[in-house]
Amino acid sequence: MPGGNIDWIASSNLGVQPTINATVKKSYEMARVLVLQHVAAEPLGLLDPMLRIRGHRIRYVNFARDPEATPRLERYQALIVLGGPMQVAQQRRR
């Protein structure tokens, strides 16, 4: 990465957590990230603080809570699709 590096610090409640120096933070454009979540208890984990440190805004769409949700993808610059308990043989769409 031009202009800096990522450092890792230990946190008692989250384990290892990324930190980023100011020169790197300025080099990123803030992106809106859409996360399609199929199980409420399974968030982004360590990716969440890494994205937020870089200034990205994250929106979760939880299909377990709202199976009929239809987010507008064109409003986002990044898409993360998290897995779930569904299998290929299941007919119901998510």
Give the residue extent of every domain in the chain.
6-81
The confidence score (pLDDT) of residue 40 equals 81
The confidence score (pLDDT) of residue 29 equals 62
pLDDT per residue as tens, the chain (94 positions)? 344 444 444 444 445 555 555 444 444 467 899 999 988 888 898 999 999 998 999 999 998 889 899 999 999 999 999 987 767 776 665 4
pTM here? Answer: 0.60
**Residue 19 belongs to what H/E stretch?**
strand 15-20
Residues 38, 51: contact at Cβ < 8 Å?
no
The confidence score (pLDDT) of residue 9 equals 45
Residues 51, 59: contact at Cβ < 8 Å?
no
58 vs 23: CA distance, rounded Å: 22
DSSP state of 73: G
**Residue 9 belongs to what H/E stretch?**
strand 6-11
